[in-house]
Structure 1
Amino acid sequence: MSSLLWSLQSLQEKAKDAIYALSSCICREQASLKINGRTFKLLKVLGEGGFSFVYLAQDETSGRMFALKKIRCPTGAEGVREAMREIEAYRRFRHPNIIRILDSAVVQDRDGDGQIVYLFLPYYKRGNLQDQINSNTINGTRFSELEMCKLFRGTCLAVRAMHDYRPTKETAPPAGAPPGPSTQVIPHSENGHDREGEGEEQDENEGQGFSYDTRDSVPLMIQRTVEDQDVVFDGDQELQNEAEANGRPAENGENGDAAEGQGTIVPYAHRDIKPGNIMVADDGTTPILMDFGSTIRARIPIKTRQQALVQQDLAAEQSTMPYRAPELFDVKTNHTLTESVDVWSLGCTLFALAYNHSPFETNATTEQGGSMAMAVMGGVYKHPPGYQYSQGFRNLIDAMLKVNPEERPDIHQVIEMTDKVIASLSA
């Protein structure tokens, strides 16, 4: 029943945003959004999810482009807490191959009783790996094996930062807490005009803007130029200051996890790794893992049937089916779910880069009424003929797609295997 209610609410919110997106296209005046005194033009829709839309937004003052993720929270406080957990995940993992959140804000939804959470993320003009797969399918082109392996390796480095996460010694802030005092949000206008007479004195519970600068009079994001380098944000400086204050090196290499401490490893699982969640940086070679809405602590002991069903339902809502690990389709009692679910998803992702679809998106499962869940749980897939990939490359995929999670390599072994394939291709 709860799943049906969630689906109905999701459809309702999608309809609202779809109408808004359509109206922004056909109306003469360009849609805009005002937060903390700064106005952003909403140029187009980049993507959508259950309760979220991602827009290409432009700061009217600086001209800087952003990917603005809008999350509707119609369920009230619980929905906001879920969004805050996503924000906290962005702040927790600091790595060159993990997307960085630049800022966030929470505002009251004028069209309903809930709230809206806005996440400001970097905009990557090359899109994601799924975009490139789609382009390859249309144009009859392919990634080279070496190119695939390098993109895949960078993604694995991001996953390693999550699987090897060590909490800092300091007490962690509550999920979603900003790095310092928060600024209040001015009630926003989505048509480019402020609402006269409203928003001058906002209720303290109406909304919070998590800006890295604590002065109410400043814009949501402050730019500054560092010599000849690209523009950076206060959020970047805050991370660097945090790292230096805690005696950790700033993030500047593949092992630079600025938020990582020295304690016991607490693995986190992304749980929705797929080509659509891997952006490509503007250099064309650096993969950027994104969308941490499904991220949780990886190791979950399942002691009761109720716990199993909770995890099964959670995976059904948050983990994309063609990339979902078999142990998440039918969660067993007296077992422990682990970060190995991500290794399975990585295997599906590399397969998709090679063959333009996941191992389990076949004619039998997509057109002939076959069960994708049964195919996944049985590990039923084949490497399509006609592709001249090395045996080491095929073996890498097959190693990650073991139905038994205990037989899969861990992320360190996956990286080692990938390095061997790259070395053989570069020889």
Structure 2
Amino acid sequence: MNTFGISLILKMGCVCGKESVNINNRRFYTRSRIGEGGFSFIDLVEDAQTHKLLALKRITCHSKEDEKVAMQEVEIMKTFHHINIVPLEESTLNPINHYTKAVDVVSEVLIVMPFYRRGSVEDMMERLKKKGEKMGEPELWTMFLGICNGLKAMHHHNPPYAHRDIKPANIMIADDSTPIIMDLGSAAKARVEIKTSAEGRALQDIAAERCSMLYRAPELFNVETNSTVDERTDIWSLGCVLYAMAFLESPFEKVYQRGDSIALAVIGRNLKFKENSGFSNKIEETVTWLMSVNPMERPFIDAVIDKVEELVHASENRV
């Protein structure tokens, strides 16, 4: 999904004549369209009473199955209350009883959540790239620790949940630089036993639809029969995100640009690190540790947090 644009939005003025949306006795005025993906749109809205700017996610459902998936996102957002996970402001399901000429629409699910003016980690990466700059290592580790803490809340839930689409575009930055994991539409119960080839193909198809290729774990490209997939799919993605935050691109970006197979590059862990990056070797060591091709060799989130906390303290002491 495209992340929330910033500069254009903040120039918007009067809401006169704009559409109003009522959700649970709260009225919101739409200001502008700020993002869209394959399944939804994001509008910038203003609370009619408080004038607070918020983000409204509109998910158009073309079937009852679409509706079920959209409402699952709402339920998952209701489940987690953590500083590093996007909170739910309001939500509703609007049935639609007519058909358009092009395609039937069963319903629309509306999700109101905070609006983050600073955009996403991906937006930050683009700004740094344009300036020819990079993140400082203490800042990088501190932000990465926040992302890990958000995932810990999901992985420690009973039953554990995996996000399955952790990437820079899905991590917003609050005004105080707190990273916020968002877009829980791909999240699901983490531990899945694959007993048949049909179950493997089904999970593979879901991953292809909802999990971004450049950050997708190897076991989701080729789901093996008689295997178990667990929350360590997110640990692989964390490794990709750490690499991207340091080097301002996905570890498989160049493979993608060449038009080569992402799946082969991921399964072969075709990782290349930039020389003379200015970062300590802890970046490369941690990325390599997180991105083990065999998920059983990857750490769980608690071990990751213990390691990253050490690195945060070490980098702060070096400053």
With structure 2 as the length reference, what TM-score do the two structures score?
Answer: 0.89
Q: Which residue of structure 1 aligns with residue 106 of structure 2?
A: 114
Aligned equivalent of 2:128, options 125, 136, 139: 136
SS in 1 for 2:54: strand
Q: Which residue of structure 2 aligns with residue 402 of structure 1?
A: 292
Whole-angstrom CA distance in 2 between matches of 1:383 and 1:47: 32
1:154 and 1:286 in contact (8 A); partners too: yes
Q: Which residue of structure 1 aligns with residue 262 of structure 2?
A: 372
The answer to whether 1:93 aligns with 2:80 is: yes
Q: Which residue of structure 2 aligns with residue 292 of structure 1?
A: 184
1:280 and 1:288 in contact (8 A); partners too: yes
The answer to whether 1:124 aligns with 2:112 is: no
The Cα offsets for residues 370-397 of structure 1, whole Å up to 9 and x where unpaired, read as: 1111100110011122302112222111
The answer to whether 1:53 aligns with 2:41 is: yes
The Cα offsets for residues 204-257 of structure 1, whole Å up to 9 and x where unpaired, read as: xxxxxxxxxxxxxxxxxxxxxxxxxxxxxxxxxxxxxxxxxxxxxxxxxxxxxx
Whole-angstrom CA distance in 2 between matches of 1:297 and 1:273: 15
- Residue type matched to 2:107 in 1? Q
- Residue type matched to 2:133 in 1? T
SS in 2 for 1:383: coil
Whole-angstrom CA distance in 1 between matches of 2:81 and 2:21: 29
The answer to whether 1:344 aligns with 2:236 is: yes
Q: Which runs of 5+ in 1 are unaligned?
A: 1-24, 167-265
- Residue type matched to 2:160 in 1? P
Q: Which residue of structure 1 aligns with residue 50 of structure 2?
A: 62
- Deviation of 1:352 after TM superposition, in Å, equals 0.4
SS in 1 for 2:310: helix
The Cα offsets for residues 251-300 of structure 1, whole Å up to 9 and x where unpaired, read as: xxxxxxxxxxxxxxx211010001111111111x2111111111111111
Bigger radius of gyration: 1
1:33/1:74 CA distance change after superposition, 3 Å: farther
- Residue type matched to 2:117 in 1? K
- Residue type matched to 1:337 in 2? V
With structure 1 as the length reference, what TM-score do the two structures score?
Answer: 0.67
Aligned equivalent of 1:307, options 175, 180, 199: 199
Structure 1 segments (4+ residues) deviating >6 Å: none
The answer to whether 1:79 aligns with 2:66 is: yes
Whole-angstrom CA distance in 2 between matches of 1:56 and 1:369: 35
SS in 1 for 2:258: coil
SS in 1 for 2:278: coil
The Cα offsets for residues 135-181 of structure 1, whole Å up to 9 and x where unpaired, read as: 11111111111111101001100101111113xxxxxxxxxxxxxxx
The Cα offsets for residues 187-217 of structure 1, whole Å up to 9 and x where unpaired, read as: xxxxxxxxxxxxxxxxxxxxxxxxxxxxxxx
- Residue type matched to 1:88 in 2? E
Aligned equivalent of 1:329, options 204, 207, 221: 221
Whole-angstrom CA distance in 2 between matches of 1:323 and 1:425: 26
1:143 and 1:354 in contact (8 A); partners too: yes
2:60 and 2:105 in contact (8 A); partners too: no
Q: How many residues align?
A: 298
- Residue type matched to 1:274 in 2? K
Whole-angstrom CA distance in 2 between matches of 1:113 and 1:163: 34
Whole-angstrom CA distance in 2 between matches of 1:90 and 1:38: 19
The answer to whether 1:382 aligns with 2:272 is: yes
Whole-angstrom CA distance in 2 between matches of 1:65 and 1:334: 48
Q: Which runs of 5+ in 2 are unaligned?
A: 1-11
- Deviation of 1:399 after TM superposition, in Å, equals 0.4
1:426/1:62 CA distance change after superposition, 3 Å: closer
SS in 1 for 2:205: helix
Q: Which residue of structure 1 aligns with residue 175 of structure 2?
A: 282
- Deviation of 1:60 after TM superposition, in Å, equals 2.7
1:83 and 1:293 in contact (8 A); partners too: yes
The answer to whether 1:353 aligns with 2:255 is: no
The answer to whether 1:41 aligns with 2:39 is: no
SS in 1 for 2:253: coil
2:92 and 2:110 in contact (8 A); partners too: yes
- Deviation of 1:30 after TM superposition, in Å, equals 4.3
Aligned equivalent of 2:303, options 401, 413, 420: 413
Aligned equivalent of 2:138, options 146, 153, 159: 146
Q: Which residue of structure 2 aligns with residue 163 of structure 1?
A: 155
Whole-angstrom CA distance in 2 between matches of 1:422 and 1:38: 42
SS in 2 for 1:336: strand
- Deviation of 1:38 after TM superposition, in Å, equals 4.6
SS in 2 for 1:42: strand
